Structure 1
């Protein structure tokens, strides 16, 4: 019997083992105090800032711009290149049109690009062209002599380092003479079909501040770009430039804006002060 008892005892857990198993079972089935409370706690993360009434303001601007008859629609950069040219030539023409457009009205830029295209506008042709003739062809765009020099410099860089094409990144584009962040983001969008950021010119800068689309007043277009990209949904980054530029050319003018004609007159923070 002793042997049988010893044999049967081997199949029974010891007291210490039973306690350990019991403890493990309790710990597994009954969560410790406070467990699971994290899922029910309210989030302490602050909601992303966005301006008041911006969606309604945007819809109103879209309504006012639905005719697409502003200068930017008819003669803007997107209308200045040859759509049937080779892809690298088309991209080069987009680059040049944006270089010419700085501090220049769309009508003047369009006319200058037409004269250049009449002279076979491509990298090889510009490199062969005398800088004086180039300056004459782009006159009277703003800073035409300086821009002629920048175009010659940039074109040489493109031939030597990019196989007569243009860079495909903002970082490389802004290294080119006469190319700033606004131009670079627009080039990426128009030439490469890649939305890298918001193209902010004087119109976008002015209107964004008037509408209160920046958390605090910004002093430069680049500051406005950074402020807008912090909250504006990315899927409308491409649209916002041409939308606000045309709106600024027709209604929200730099001087004497047409507030009485604006659908946003009741929800624009600047309307009553202008």
Structure 2
């Protein structure tokens, strides 16, 4: 797929899923510290779950110093609904300690610095730089973005980092901050993992998987 067709796909999705910048934040946060911690916790669970435990977590640990000195068992109790709570508690406490020790208690604003924090990979770092600081220097590739990128034909890769690189080459930079929201929205509403509703898909005629399926019928 070339850039012109790829942009036309996003333009159509942008029409279907109108939004403000605030709408693009599936996680409801108030500051960079919160979006960082919530994104670490959101791995392999739903945004609804993480939003549901936000108030208790940040009332107990409102800033990095508070979380850095937290009792891990108590943190595990609060974040238990998120799953993998032993590892996640260890990671967010470790991240808070790193913020205090290495960054003056502030969330760093670069990908290179963010990925030095426990539990933070490129996806999390991209979400933080985009949503907390309004700086889309990359593209967050979660399961929805990865699935749709392969199905539609944006990428032939399965590795999230390689998919991100393909998307960054394919799309002009002004679209980078929108891609995650638009593909997640379409992945949840229409192009689901188990049963994509191709008959209701407004971009099906641009979709490689749809075209290949109908060529064989």
Q: TM-score, normalised by structure 2?
A: 0.89
Contact 1:73 1:246 (8 Å CA) reproduced: no
Q: Which residue of 1 aligns with 2:11?
A: 59
The 5-angstrom pairing of residues 169-188 of structure 1 reads 169-188=110-129
User: Quick one: distance in 2 between partners of 1:123 and 1:55?
Assistant: 40
User: Quick one: distance in 1 between partners of 2:187 and 2:120?
Assistant: 23
Q: Which residue of 1 aligns with 2:160?
A: 221
The 5-angstrom pairing of residues 19-34 of structure 1 reads none
Cα distance change, pair 132–75 in 1 and its aligned pair in 2 (3 A): farther
Q: Which residue of 2 aligns with 1:12?
A: none
SS of residue matched to 2:132:
helix
Q: What is the Cα deviation at residue 138 of structure 1?
A: 1.0
Q: More helix by proportion, 1 or 2?
A: 2
Is structure 2 residue 129 aligned with structure 1 residue 129?
A: no
User: Quick one: distance in 2 between partners of 1:170 and 1:102?
Assistant: 18
Q: What is the Cα deviation at residue 55 of structure 1?
A: 3.0
SS of residue matched to 1:266:
helix
SS of residue matched to 2:204:
coil
User: Quick one: distance in 1 between partners of 2:139 and 2:50?
Assistant: 21
Q: Which residue of 1 aligns with 2:180?
A: 241
Is structure 2 residue 58 aligned with structure 1 residue 106?
A: no
Greater radius of gyration (CA): 1
User: Alignment partner for residue 34 of structure 2, among 93, 105, 109?
Assistant: 93
| Structure 2 runs not aligned, ≥5 long | none
User: Alignment partner for residue 103 of structure 2, among 154, 162, 168?
Assistant: 162
Cα distance change, pair 63–266 in 1 and its aligned pair in 2 (3 A): same
Q: What is the Cα deviation at residue 53 of structure 1?
A: 2.9
Q: What is the Cα deviation at residue 127 of structure 1?
A: 2.5
